[in-house]
Amino acid sequence: MKHNSDLTVLKNKVILLISPQPWGSLFISKNHYAVELAKTNVVYYLCPQPIIKTSSQKIDVKSLEGIGNLYIIDHQLFFPFQLKFHFRKLFHFLMFIQTKRILKKINRKIDIVWSFDLGNYFPFAFFSKIPLKIFHPVDEPLNREAIFSAKGADVIFSVTKEILSKYEIYNLPSYFINHGVEASFVKSSNYFNQQDVLQLRVGFSGNLRRKDIDREILLNIINDNPTVQFDCWGDFENRNNLRDSENKSTDDFIEKLLSNKNVHLHGLLNPSQLADAYQQVDAFLICYDVKKDQSKGTNYHKILEFVSTGKIIISNNVSTYQNFPELVQMVNERLNNNLLPTLFKKVIDNISKYNSIELQKKRVAFAAENTYQNQINRIDNHLISLNSISINS
């Protein structure tokens, strides 16, 4: 995509990036944006406050080995977190003091506050003197606090139009910016003739302990297709920084996956390893229960990673990709996946059609247009066009 690097907002700035998730081995959009932005800016990644009560008042600012200009801020509260649920005004007053302590520890002039925070832990009112305040919700806002989190922002970016519509009350400049894909996924794909494949391999990726996976439908698909190998990447032992359910039903689901001879659980891989592994499969499966899904079936970060391989995706309904059947074959029903096993069988039985060389090239090109760097360029272009925002460029 075209971007005028001579006229830029997002260069040589000090950015405070507020994330609702801690820094960890499993990278999601907030981590990827932090890494990409740090290539031309100084970025401070502010982790969420701990939920546990602690007497410590420690604030750590640490650099990451191998990633220059990116600093992780870990901090502990000097007051009980539970105040948020019982004395909200007092909680925000104390969080304002905590913010002042964090900014003092950084000891640099902040140019941009870039918040992914839907918990309203750090309201933009805390940063009234900072020139540019960006609100970037990439998850579905599910409560009033998530809506209040946009108050005081200068501009909003989000990965779905549905999310943006919920913030129209603020009458702010608002733009759709799709999820990004990490550059290591976009490589010279080995386009191949599907007729040469001896055994079809289907990829499934993500935290396998998530409660919003449509477990019954997924197991039905696996059991109905014993000649297909299902390669699953992602945590199944609850070892990542995005911990999810720890209960008997989840353990039973994992046991059923492990007991299937045509299912291979590969666990967590780093982005480079995952990108290489994705190249080995013939199709990808997404199978979430939209009623439970935190994204409500509007968009998924993993879609672009899958698309980068050139291979077809078979999925539950995803509203952002409704008009992209060449990328994602999805069920029409929004709220149930009863027809997903039939759709899966249809695509697999006609895989040469769905993975034609022409379609593979279109998918790889689409992914290349949506790297995190290109998404940052798109955001930069929007910021340049906003005359109401004054920040030295």
The confidence score (pLDDT) of residue 241 equals: 45
Q: How high does pLDDT run on average in the chain?
A: 90
* CATH C-level class of 183-368: alpha beta
Where in the chain are the domains?
Answer: 14-180+371-385, 183-368
Residue 197's pLDDT is 62
- pLDDT (tens digit, 9 = 90+) per residue, 322-336? 999 999 999 999 999
- pLDDT value at residue 388: 53
Q: Which residues of the chain have pLDDT under 70?
A: 1-6, 49-56, 188-197, 238-246, 387-393
How would you label 277-312 residue by residue, b for 16+ Cβ within 10 Å and e otherwise?
A: bbbebbbbbbbbbbeebebbbbbbbbbbbbbbbbbb
Whole-number pLDDT of residue 235: 87
Nearest to 42 by CA among 6, 17, 20: 17
What was the pLDDT predicted at 191?
A: 62
CATH number attached to the domain at 14-180+371-385: 3.40.50.2000
pLDDT tens digit sequence for 353-380: 999 999 999 999 999 999 999 999 999 9
| Cα atoms in the 13 Å half-sphere on the side-chain side of 232 | 24
pTM: 0.88
So what's the pLDDT on residue 314? 98
DSSP for 298-345, please give it.
S--THHHHHHTTT-EEEES--GGGTT-TTTEEE-S-SS--TTHHHHHH
